[in-house]
Amino acid sequence: MDKLISYLINYGFDHGISSTLTYELPPDFPSSASSKYKKALINMNWHNKWEVPFSFAHELGHIINGDDGINYYHSFTVHSKTEFEANKTAIDIILAYCRDNDIPTDNSNTLCEQFGIPFKLEYIVALKLKNIM
C-alpha cells in the first residue's frame, strides 16, 4: 500500500496537485479535494484502511476532472455523475500504476480486492480492462 500511496502523491504532483495526508482526523471523516486549490486532503486514519488508496485516487480524479467540489444542492443525477466520473478516473490511475509496476490486470475482482476498489465498481474495472470504457 505504501508504494501505491507514494505513486499517488507523485501522480498528483505531476498534475499540479498537492496532497496532505493526515492521521489526525477522526476515522469517519472522509477524504476530500479542492479543484480550485488543486489540493487533496487524505484521511490516513480512515476506518477501512484498505479503502485509502482508492479514496486517494478518487479525490485526485475529482481534481483532474475539474469538479467544483461537493455541492449538496445539486440534484442526485448531477452528484451521481460527478462521483461516477471520479471513480472512473481513479480506476484509470490505479490501472496506470499497475502498468508502470508490471502488476497483472487480467482479473477485475482481484484488482478490486488488491486496491480497495469497491466491488460495486467491479463492472467498470472489467469494462476498462476490455477497453470498452
- Residue 33 has a pLDDT of 94
Task: Report the chain's mean pLDDT, rounded to a whole number.
Answer: 91
Residues of the chain with pLDDT > 90: what percent?
Answer: 85
Secondary structure (H, E, C), 75-122: CHHHHHHHHHHHHHHHHHHHHHHHHHCCCCCCCHHHHHHHHCCCHHHH
- Amino acid at the residue 120: K
Between 2-16, 23-37, 68-82, 89-103, the lowest mean confidence (pLDDT) is in 68-82
For the chain, the C-alpha Rg in angstroms (whole number) is 14
Q: Cα angle at 91 between 106 and 48, to 5 degrees? A: 100
Q: Cα angle at 50 between 32 and 11, to 5 degrees? A: 55
- Residue 132 has a pLDDT of 72
Model confidence pLDDT, tens digit, residues 22-81 = 999 999 999 999 999 999 999 999 999 999 999 999 999 999 999 875 554 554 444 588
- Residue 75 has a pLDDT of 47
SS3 3: helix
- Residue 1 has a pLDDT of 78
Say how far apart CA 87 and CA 72 lie, in whole Å.
Answer: 18
Q: What pTM did the predictor assign?
A: 0.90
